[in-house]
Amino acid sequence: MDRPMQGIRVIPLGVNTRICKPQHTMNKKTPYIDAGIRLLFIALYTYTGMTKLLDFPVYRIKMRRQPFPEPLKEVFVWGVPTTELLMAIVLVPPYLIAAPKLTRGSLAANLLVIGSFTVYTGLAATGAFGYVPCSCGGFLEGMGWWVHFLFNLVFTLIAALGVWLHRSKEDAEVLPSIRG
């Protein structure tokens, strides 16, 4: 094998002997932690997205009361549940196929989405917008803004853990012979 697959680091042992190791820094427990993180977010996004769509008239009224510029309100009405359901879908394929870049990309997108929700709930909790009805749906709607912020903050930290588990080693460790 002259050219190793992408995401594999080749360690030369002798003239014609090589060992291929994954380029990420996983240990034996990492696949289980990764699966748990993905399943947690798939469940969260599916639940919140579907809850909004199943009670769409009420959700739409609450979203229209959010402190966004008028032209953006309708975009968010459809964009938030669509994004949640798309994130639930995007988190599945990297778990089924070994694609390190796709895996890191989906986890980074997940961190961006939950991080955005966390910033918004943090601003709502501090009263930056005045009164804002929660349009999250389901059991999340019953939380106060501070509890909701802490809930999202924990999920943001879990998402960050998922990204961290799939970090790649520095390019300096990759042999020049497999870069070209």
d(C-alpha 124, C-alpha 119), whole Å: 9
| 60 within a domain of the structure (yes/no) | yes
Nearest Cα residue to 152 out of 77, 144, 85: 144
In the chain, DSSP assigns E strands to 8-12, 18-22
70-90 and 100-125 helices, crossing angle to 10°: 140
| 149 within a domain of the structure (yes/no) | yes
100-125 and 145-165 helices, crossing angle to 10°: 160
| 3 within a domain of the structure (yes/no) | no
Residue-wise pLDDT tens digits, 24-56: 455 677 788 888 999 999 999 999 999 999 999
**Over 50: is that where the pLDDT of 159 sits?**
yes
| 104 within a domain of the structure (yes/no) | yes
| 176 within a domain of the structure (yes/no) | no
**Residue percentage of the chain with pLDDT more than 90:** 44
The domain of 78 spans 28-168
Residue-wise pLDDT tens digits, 78-121: 999 999 999 999 998 876 776 777 888 899 999 999 999 999 99
| 175 within a domain of the structure (yes/no) | no
| 70 within a domain of the structure (yes/no) | yes
| 9 within a domain of the structure (yes/no) | no
Angle at 156 (CA atoms; ends 141, 83), nearest 5 degrees: 65
Q: How far apart are the first and last CA of the chain?
A: 15
**Over 90: is that where the pLDDT of 132 sits?**
no
Q: How many domains does one find in the chain? A: 1
d(C-alpha 165, C-alpha 106), whole Å: 13
